[in-house]
Amino acid sequence: MGRPRQFDEREAVVKATDLFWRRGYSATSVRDLGDELELTPSSLYRTFKDKHTLFLRALDHYRATESAQAEQWLSADGRPVRDVLRDWMLWLVTCPVGGEPGRGCLVVNTATELGTADDQVSRRTEAAFDVTRRALRSLLLEGRASGELPAGLDIDAAVELLFTTVLGLRVRERAGHDAARLATAIDAAIRVLGPTAADPS
């Protein structure tokens, strides 16, 4: 199994990302990566140095893609902010990748698997989490300014609540929990934001 003549390094990173996402870091061996990327171990080491370096590349690729999706989903674009939040959170737990449900989020999976033991990984997971927090904060600020959300809403606390809810949803989705039950949790979290302008009670 030699190095393909038309080797595409970016495509190799995409394939490695998919494999790490399915199996996790520890359960993915160099042999697994070689089979997936159609590279001999020596070719893999020449190109990516080692498994850890390739994993960092995979995390960077996933973060770039996921961050763009999160920012896109959390852009109000004239829609009610509660609808934007609900649609995004439902999408997180009901969108199987390639028809394969239960993957969760690679960043969340990595954070739960490796914790803070690896500084390079931890910096990447925290950077990805910060993107989500900032997008949530921007959306909530927009909702408060437009009057859709209560003027007295504590934005920082609401961001942390929603962010924590999202992490829990991703773990539960990976565990195969029923989507209808997750939708119930989503609706409850959004209700905590307070009454709508049309329903001040």
The token pair at 146 is: 């437009």
Amino acid at 133: R
Instruction: Look at the block and give the residue holding tokens 């859709």.
Output: 148
What three-state secondary structure class fits 3? coil
Q: What DSSP character marks residue 175?
A: T
- Cα–Cα distances in angstroms (integers) from residue 3 to residues 8, 48, 170, in the given order: 10, 13, 36
Distance CA 67, CA 61 (A): 10
**Where do the H-state alpha helices sit in 74-114?**
81-94, 106-114
* Bridge partners of residue 100, in order along the sequence: 97
Domain at 59-191: CATH architecture: Orthogonal Bundle (1.10)
Structural domain boundaries in the chain: 59-191
- Cβ neighbour number for residue 44 with a 10 Å cutoff: 22
- Residue 192: is its pLDDT beyond 50? yes
CA diameter of the chain = 68
- Cβ neighbour number for residue 74 with a 10 Å cutoff: 23
pLDDT in tens, 23-81: 999 999 999 999 999 888 888 888 899 999 999 999 999 998 887 788 888 887 889 99
Distance CA 132, CA 116 (A): 19
Instruction: Look at the block and give the residue holding tokens 């962010």.
Output: 163
pLDDT in tens, 108-167: 999 999 999 999 999 999 999 999 999 999 999 999 999 999 999 999 999 999 999 999
